[in-house]
Structure 1
Amino acid sequence: MFLIRLAVLFAALMLLNGCEQKTAPPLDQQLYVWQRQWTPAHDAALKDSRADFSTLRVLALQAFPQAGWSRARINPALLKRDGRPLIAVVRLDGQLKALDQDEVTAQIQQVLSDWQGQGLILSGVEIDHDAGSARLPAYRAFLTHLRAVLPASLPLSITALPAWIDSPELPTLLATVDSSVLQVHAVSDPRRGLFDAVQAGKWAKAWSRITPKPFYLALPAYGVALLPGASGAPVVESEVSVERVGKRRELLADPVQLSKLVAELRADPPAHLAGLIWFRLPLAGDRRAWSLNTLGAVARGDVLDSRLSLKLSAQDGLYDISVSNPGNLDSAWPERVTLAVQGCDGADALAGYALQQSPDLLTFTRQREGRLPAGGQRGIGWARCAHIDQGGSNVHP
């Protein structure tokens, strides 16, 4: 009897240990590809994103109130080579006075047909329409019409706004589609910031209580600039430069803040949460997006680390002076870099920095804001010196 009891106790302990070692399943991670004009930089960005992001949601078509219809100029060869599930996103501007069901449906069918004619295999269609809550019945009617026209095998999803949560029309709207993408960034006054992690978590839980279907959270991995507007409301500058006089106020989603939210969602996901979709795929030189190194680290749940270091490259007494960021977290340009020197007969700073020089010290001081991507390097100046003591030099964040 004692042996039987011991065996039962041992089995219970093993079961308890097994429960303690269980980890939450990883959340599916996807990417928005939102560039209107594809460039050669998309090739490397797609290749480097493959390991961490399962699906591409690619901007295909846009409708604007005055400008009308505009197609994104994609590179179908790159998408075919990539091979990940592909969802075409159709952006219908929220300022459109009404949705002409027949015209919008015809435009969508044509772009889908053209993509398929280029050899692309679609895994779904997403409609992105920032309709006000009062217009949800009309939007539901449009989606019902579109669902009936699209192939039954082609999943239909929508981008959704937190402002819809309190609308009695929301459940019937969500019933018309297969899934939804709750956008929890850039949904309020931009002067209050791009993103609020606490509020985003509350919206996700509220959404999970309304929809019985899978939903995703659209999260920010980018920044914008605010410029003074004529009416007092700021003008938002994102991927495309805005020709306007005035000081730009830069806003950037905080990777550390997003990393904490992702960890919380991974540990305790709301009901029906299927995954996360990051806006947007960063390209080399995209100054208003996180680097892909940082985005991948946040998506994987890696510990974030930013480490700035001094890099010197010398030839015949001429030193090229750079700072590098070997960590996985993008960093602001260092405020100041000091170099202990001997016998300098010339030195200068590069754009963005100013130089102050004394016989034994060079001080490079930041003159404007900038970001050094994870894994990146940036030159700040040069000097012709008999000697630079790297051990006695410092980078001041």
Structure 2
Amino acid sequence: MGFSIRRWALLFPLLMLAGCGQPEAPALDQQLYIWQRQWLPAHQHALRDSRADFSTLRVLALQSFPQAGWSRAQVDAHLLRQDGRPLIAVIRLDGQLKSLDSHEVIAQVQHLITDWQGQGLTLAGVEIDHDAGVARLPAYRNLRSELRQVLPASMALSITALPAWLNSPELPALLSSVDSSVLQVHAVSDPRTGLFHVEQTKKWTAAWSRKTSKPFYLALPAYGVALLPASSGGPIVESEVPLERDGDRKELMADPQQLRKLGLELRDNPPEHLAGLIWFRLPLANDRRAWSLTMLRAVARGEALRSQVTLQLSEHQGLFEISIINSGNLDSPWPERVTLAASACEGADALAGYSMQQTSNSLTFSRLREGRVAAQGQRAIGWARCAKIDQGASHVDP
């Protein structure tokens, strides 16, 4: 009537295997670029809310441009000390520089390190970001080798690299002079074709993994840009800083659904030497061309993405504040139209970005321009002084 001990011993491992699925692949390391030149109070909240999901901060520290020369980013050392995550200082050398003065670059980097250490910051590494043309890679390699010799052995040295370098015979020597590389796969082609291409990124990543024997990261986009028409040549790109130019703007935004899927694929089947992902850039509350931090965290985690935009009314003595709220984890376009069942309204108006039409029993707010409601965010679209607004009979139309 029961199993023998021997039969049970043979069956038990099979039952255990049947009850356990394949273990999930470990998550890739996720890091953040902080790219604001001037730090703001909003950095405090962004750093606090990003701590659980992003291991390391790569902070824009120093830049060199033609004519303009060298400039320091005004970082908040107190916030960085308080945050406590590993820090990598990024030195941006503009790709249009006519030449690289290695002595000047090294002196600037050493001065930066001394200054940051004097402010109580411990650097885990230095990253050089230089969009050099292929023909200039030998000079760039020499700079890297000289810099490696003067940096402390404990301080990692990395470079931001371009897919265009893949076929250069200089690439192996360049990669051998650094501890790791960051392959930039966004905004590297004609902006009119978009910020990012998934299939091309997969090809570049696979090719890079065959070129390097050291850890490398992918720099992925979590932002958008606007394209403005130019009198000749390609379009003008507007990013974090608004440009004082007229003309219609074509908005481009990195697709979070594509990037979530890519992240999951890379986690489940990582190319050799891929160490992690670095997201550009840490979003602040007032950064209108960056993903919300809520959405960035959801993409980094591989969560299913959805937006849920609803109407929210706040009433005080007959005065209604009318807002739209997004309770999902996916940023959403402003609704095209919001229609309220309203009666006995003495006055009403729309706020910037919407227009308002009123009838005897309704208020309709219509979108005038493009905009986004951040995940877990809200936006006021108007106000009304009415005897009654029936929220249940009102509609939000995409």
Is the shorter-chain TM-score for this pair beyond 0.5, marking a shared fold? yes
The verdict on how the C-alpha distance between 1:17 and 1:148 changes in structure 2, with shifts beyond 3 A counting, is farther
Please list every run of 5 or more consecutive structure 1 residues that lacks an aligned counterpart in the other structure.
Answer: none
Match of 2:242 in 1: 241
Q: In the alignment, which residue of structure 2 is the partner of 1:124?
A: 125
For structure 2, list consecutive stretches of 5 or more residues without a partner in the other structure.
none
CA deviation vs aligned residue, 1:224-248 (integer Å, no higher than 9, x gap): 1111123231111111111112111
> 1:369: which partner in 2?
370
Number of residue equivalences: 395
Instruction: State the secondary structure of the residue aligned to 1:123.
Output: strand
Aligned-pair CA distance for 1:258: 0.9
Distance (whole Å) between structure 1 residues aligned to residue 262 and residue 362 of structure 2:
44
Shift of 1:346: 1.6
Residue-by-residue CA offset, 1:51-110 (whole Å, 9 max, x unaligned): 111100000100101111011010101100000000000001111111111111111111
1:300 partnered with 2:301: yes
Structure 2 letter corresponding to 1:388: I
Structure 1 equivalent of residue 115 of structure 2: 114
* Separation in 1, partners of 2:321, 2:13: 65
Superposition deviation, residue 321 in structure 1: 0.8
User: What is the aligned partner in structure 2 of residue 219 from structure 1?
Assistant: 220
Q: Residues 163-198 of structure 1, C-alpha deviation per residue, up to 9 Å, x if partnerless?
A: 111222211111110000011100000011111112
| Structure-1 residue corresponding to 2:9 | 7
Q: Aligned partners of 2:192, 2:157: CA distance in 1, in Å?
A: 33
Aligned residue in 2 for 1:97:
98
Aligned pairs (5 A) from 1:1-397: 7-8=9-10, 10-11=12-13, 14=16, 20-397=21-398
- Cα distance, 1:9 vs structure 2: 5.4
* SS of the residue 2:25 aligns to: coil
Structure 1 consecutive aligned stretches of length 4 or more whose deviation exceeds 4 Å: 2-6, 15-18
Give the Cα–Cα distance (whole angstroms) in 1 for the partners of residues 13 and 138 of structure 2: 57
Output the CA distance in 2 between the equivalents of 1:186 and 1:5: 62
TM-score, length-scaled by structure 2: 0.96
**Percentage of matched positions with identical amino acids:** 70
- Aligned in 2, Cα 1:13/1:140: closer, same or farther, shift over 3 Å? farther
| Alpha-carbon separation, structure 2, partners of 1:275 and 1:134 | 29
Q: Which moved more, 1:3-12 or 1:211-220?
A: 3-12
The code of the aligned residue for 1:212 comes to: S
Q: How many Å separate the matches in 2 of 1:4 and 1:271? A: 44
How many angstroms apart in 2 are the aligned matches of 1:296 and 1:93?
A: 30
Partners of 1:319 and 1:5 in 2: how far apart?
73
Q: CA deviation at 1:301?
A: 1.2
Q: Secondary structure at the match of 1:302?
A: coil
The separation in 2 between residues aligned to 1:229 and 1:5, in whole angstroms, is 79
How far, CA to CA, are the matches of 1:17 and 1:137 in structure 2?
57
CA distance in 1, matches of 2:396, 2:5: 66
Q: Secondary structure at the match of 2:123?
A: coil
CA RMSD of aligned residues (A): 1.5
Q: Distance in 2 between the 1:138 and 1:231 partners?
A: 32
Deviations 1:196-245 (Å, cap 9, x if unpaired)? Answer: 11211221111111111111000000111111123231111111111112
Q: What is the rounded CA distance, in whole Å, between the counterparts of 2:269 and 2:109 in structure 1?
A: 37
- Residue 240 of structure 1: SS of its match in structure 2? coil
Q: Structure 1 pair 121/338, CA: closer, same or farther in 2 (3 Å)?
A: same
Task: Give the whole-Å Cα distance in 2 for the aligned partners of 1:386 and 1:12.
Answer: 69
Q: Tell me the CA shift for residue 10 of structure 1.
A: 3.8
Q: What displacement does 1:366 show?
A: 0.2
Distance in 2 (CA, whole Å) between partners of 1:5 and 1:161 is 60
In 2, the alpha carbon distance for the partners of 1:11 and 1:134 equals 60
C-alpha separation between the residues in 2 aligned to 1:358 and 1:226? 39
Name the CA distance, whole Å, in 2 between partners of 1:210 and 1:7. Answer: 49
